């Protein structure tokens, strides 16, 4: 079975969607499926990873790559009379990894959808309105033409059905992996020479809730705890709120915002943290706290959306809109060494369940099933 994959995020995206695409393909190659892979990589942006970093070196996987603006792709395919499945070698199945208008001529189509944060309601401030509307329309169109939708959690699966119109029978839960962060082994915590710190890894935007985390950290500083707070992640939509709050904060000298952190530096950064703090208001999966667990860090996390499903009882789960609760929970973990060690042990065990090999295995099974002769899908009856 020839498998076409939209590989563009793997080449240029350093966050979750790029990580998913890189690691899924790497795992498929490790299964000796490289000869079956056609990777579509037409992007104008320069690739940010070498073939060795991507796991493509010495692989039979074919990367179809041209420096070409993505927005021109529909017109190019129309002029050529081709589908993207033709460009990757006549794929039997084509897997979309992002919302796009890539035309597919013959292949069975599947897609990965990681969250629905762009769909209105109480999430109106998570993205700018124009982007949110465009993404919602793109994903609804993609859902309508895909036979199978892969989602990372049951939470997202329900949202895809309720907000994007997917039929429940088309939705398959395929959890992501986190073992990329310990590819070279679980890093040892450094016992000396490291100033104590709390760590948060995520894009800085309104959804990630950095302002409330800052307020909770200010209470820690006021109480005399010695930790710094390291925030690792680029600015996103609405980052200015956090930037302004940080400028005014009495604890600003104890906060370090690292807007760029190389992938290779993250494992040790996780391992040395006294606690990992993650108070996101909405997540489709929540890869950073799981990465922190894989490196042995005790995790204090939001209790909303997908995070309880992913983190289970291996994290201290907190109501993320309650600054006092965030502060008290974080303080307890920082001051109770036995509790922190127990959370670290439970986190390590929990993280071992999430591997990219398992993600690849379930993805491949879903693609094979999607290629089986289509059955007439039952129609949903809607009532008020």
Q: Rounded to whole angstroms, how far apart are CA atoms 230 and 68?
A: 37
**Quick one: DSSP state of residue 258?**
E
What was the pLDDT predicted at 381? Answer: 40
Query: pTM for the full model?
Result: 0.93
- Residues in contact with 172: Cβ distance below 8 Å, sequence separation at least 6, in sequence order: 148, 149, 150, 151, 362, 366
Say yes or no to pLDDT of 379 above 60: no
Q: Rounded to whole angstroms, how far apart are CA atoms 319 and 121?
A: 20
CA atoms within 13 A on the CB side of 364: 19
CATH architecture of 3-177+356-370: 3-Layer(aba) Sandwich (3.40)
Local structure of 94: helix, strand or coil: strand
Q: Rounded to whole angstroms, how far apart are CA atoms 285 and 23?
A: 16
What was the pLDDT predicted at 378? Answer: 47
Tens of pLDDT along 308-365?
999 999 999 999 999 999 999 999 999 999 999 999 999 999 999 999 999 999 999 9
Say yes or no to pLDDT of 122 above 80: no
Q: Rounded to whole angstroms, how far apart are CA atoms 265 and 35?
A: 32
Say yes or no to pLDDT of 53 above 50: yes
Q: Rounded to whole angstroms, how far apart are CA atoms 3 and 110?
A: 11
Q: Rounded to whole angstroms, how far apart are CA atoms 327 and 19?
A: 31
Rounded to 5 degrees, what angle do the CA atoms 226, 303, 353 make? 95
- Please give the average per-residue pLDDT across 282-304, as a whole number: 97
Integer distance in angstroms from the first to the last C-alpha of the chain?
A: 44
Indicate the angle between helix axes 323-335 and 210-222, nearest 10 degrees.
50
What was the pLDDT predicted at 152? Answer: 98
Distance from chain centroid for Cα 220:
29
Written out in words, the top-level CATH class of the domain with range 180-351 is: alpha beta
Tens of pLDDT along 21-44?
999 999 999 999 999 999 999 988
Identify each DSSP E strand in the chain by its residue range.
Answer: 3-6, 37-40, 62-64, 93-96, 108-112, 148-151, 171-173, 197-201, 228-232, 255-258, 275-278, 299-302, 316-318
What was the pLDDT predicted at 125? Answer: 65
> Residues of CATH 3.40.50.2000 domain(s) within the chain?
3-177+356-370, 180-351
Residue 153's φ and ψ, nearest 5 degrees, are -145, 160
Calculate the average pLDDT of the chain: 93
> How far are the Cα atoms of 3, 82, 108, 199, 323 from residue 77, in angstroms, in the given order?
19, 5, 17, 45, 51
């Amino acid at each position: 079975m020839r498998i076409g994959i939209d590989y563009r995020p793997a080449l240029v995206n350093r966050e979750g969607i790029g990580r998913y695409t890189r690691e899924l393909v790497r795992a498929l190659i490790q299964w000796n499926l490289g000869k079956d892979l056609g990777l579509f990589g037409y992007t104008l942006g320069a690739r940010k990873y070498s073939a060795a970093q991507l796991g493509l070196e010495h692989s039979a996987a074919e990367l179809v790559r041209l420096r070409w603006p993505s927005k021109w792709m529909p017109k190019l395919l129309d002029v050529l009379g081709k589908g993207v499945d033709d460009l990757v070698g006549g794929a039997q199945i084509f897997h979309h990894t992002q919302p796009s208008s890539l035309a597919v001529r013959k292949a069975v189509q599947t897609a990965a959808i990681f969250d629905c944060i762009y769909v209105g309601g109480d999430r109106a401030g998570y993205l700018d309105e124009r982007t949110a509307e465009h993404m919602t329309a793109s994903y609804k169109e993609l859902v309508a033409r895909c036979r199978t939708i892969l989602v990372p959690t049951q939470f997202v699966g329900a949202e895809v059905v309720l907000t994007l119109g997917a039929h429940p029978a088309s939705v398959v839960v395929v959890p992501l992996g986190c073992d990329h962060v310990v590819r070279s082994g679980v890093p040892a915590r450094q016992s000396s020479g490291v100033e104590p710190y709390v760590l948060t890894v995520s894009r800085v935007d309104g959804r990630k809730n950095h302002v409330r985390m800052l307020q909770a950290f200010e209470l820690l500083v006021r109480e005399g705890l010695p930790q710094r707070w390291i925030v690792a992640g680029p600015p996103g939509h609405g980052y200015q709120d956090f930037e302004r709050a940080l400028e005014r904060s009495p604890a600003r000298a104890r906060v370090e915002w690292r807007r760029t952190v190389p992938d290779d530096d993250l494992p040790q950064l996780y391992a040395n943290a006294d606690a990992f703090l993650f108070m996101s208001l909405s997540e489709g999966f929540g890869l950073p706290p799981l990465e922190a667990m894989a490196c042995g860090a005790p995790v204090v996390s939001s209790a909303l959306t997908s995070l309880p499903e992913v983190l289970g009882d291996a994290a201290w789960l907190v109501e993320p809109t309650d600054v006092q609760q965030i502060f008290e929970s974080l303080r307890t973990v920082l001051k109770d060494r036995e509790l922190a060690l127990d959370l670290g042990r439970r986190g390590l065990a929990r993280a071992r369940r999430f591997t990219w090999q398992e993600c690849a295995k379930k993805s491949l099974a879903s693609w094979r099933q999607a290629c089986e002769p289509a059955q007439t899908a039952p129609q949903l009856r809607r009532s008020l």
